[in-house]
Amino acid sequence: MSDPPEADGRYRAIVVGSGMAGLFAALEASALGPVLLMTKAELHEGSTRHAQGGIAAAIGPDDSTEQHLADTIAAGAGLVDEEMARILVESAPRRIRDLEQYGVSFDSAGEGRAFGREGAHRNARVLHARGDRTGAAITSALARQVERGRVVVREHTLATDVLLEDGETTGVHALDQATGAEQVFESPAVILATGGAGAAFSHTTNPPVATGDGIALAFAAGAEVCDLEFYQFHPTAFRQEGAPPFLISEALRGEGAVLRSVGGEAFMPRYHELADLAPRDVVARAMVAEMRASASDHVWLDCTALGGVDPHERFPGIAAFCRERGIDLRRDPVPVAPAAHYIMGGVRTDSWGRTTVPGLYACGEIAATGVHGANRLASNSLLETVVFAKRAVEHIASGEGGAMARCPESAAFAPAEGAPPDHATVQRLLWEHAGIERSGEGLRAGLEAVAAWGDVERGDSREGHERRWLSVFAELLLTAALRREESRGAHYRTDYPERDDERWARRQVFHRDG
- Per residue in 11-61, pLDDT (tens digit) is 999 999 999 999 999 999 999 999 999 999 988 777 677 666 789 999 998
**What confidence tier does 8 reach under pLDDT thresholds 50, 70, 90?**
low
- Cβ atoms < 10 Å from Cβ of 206: 26
Residues 6+ apart with CB under 8 A from 160: 173, 174, 175, 182, 217, 465
Q: Which residue has the higher pLDDT, 45 or 155?
A: 155
Distance between CA 510 and CA 180 in Å, rounded? 33
Q: Do 58 and 125 form a contact (C-beta atoms < 8 A)?
A: yes
Overall average pLDDT of the 348-358 stretch: 98
Which ranges in the chain are annotated with CATH 1.20.58.100? 413-512
Phi/psi at 340 (5° precision)? -55, 135
- What SS3 string covers 316-372? HHHHHHHHHCCCCCCCCCEEEEEEEEEECCEEECCCCCECCCCCEEECHHHEECCCC
Strand segments (E) across 149-215: 152-154, 157-165, 168-176, 182-186, 190-192
**What confidence tier does 308 reach under pLDDT thresholds 50, 70, 90?**
confident
3-state secondary structure of 31: coil
Model pTM score? 0.94
Per-residue pLDDT, 52: 67
Distance between CA 53 and CA 207 in Å, rounded? 16
Q: Do 469 and 370 form a contact (C-beta atoms < 8 A)?
A: no
Assign a CATH topology to domain 238-338. Flavocytochrome C3; Chain A, domain 1 (3.90.700)
Dihedral angle sign, alpha carbons of residues 161, 217, 162, 223? negative
Per-residue pLDDT, 3: 47
Q: Do 317 and 244 form a contact (C-beta atoms < 8 A)?
A: no
Q: Is the pLDDT of residue 133 over 90?
A: no
Left, alpha or beta for 417 (phi > 0: left; psi -120 to 50: alpha)?
A: alpha
- What's the burial of 167, exposed, middle or buried (CB within 10 Å: 0-12/13-18/19+)? exposed
3-state secondary structure of 263: coil
Per-residue pLDDT, 458: 55
Overall average pLDDT of the 144-172 stretch: 94
Phi/psi at 210 (5° precision)? -85, 80
Assign a CATH topology to domain 413-512. Methane Monooxygenase Hydroxylase; Chain G, domain 1 (1.20.58)
Lowest mean pLDDT among 131-140, 169-178, 344-353, 419-428: 131-140
Catalytic positions, please? 280
Strand 157-165 with 168-176, pairing: antiparallel
List, for residues 213-224, the tens digit of each pLDDT value: 999 999 999 999
Please choose, from the candidates 355, 411, 387, the residue with its C-alpha nearest in 3D space to the C-alpha of residue 162: 355
Which ranges in the chain are annotated with CATH 3.90.700.10? 238-338
Per-residue pLDDT, 4: 39
Report the alpha-carbon angle 70-484-362, nearest 5. 60
**What confidence tier does 461 reach under pLDDT thresholds 50, 70, 90?**
confident
Distance between CA 102 and CA 324 in Å, rounded? 34
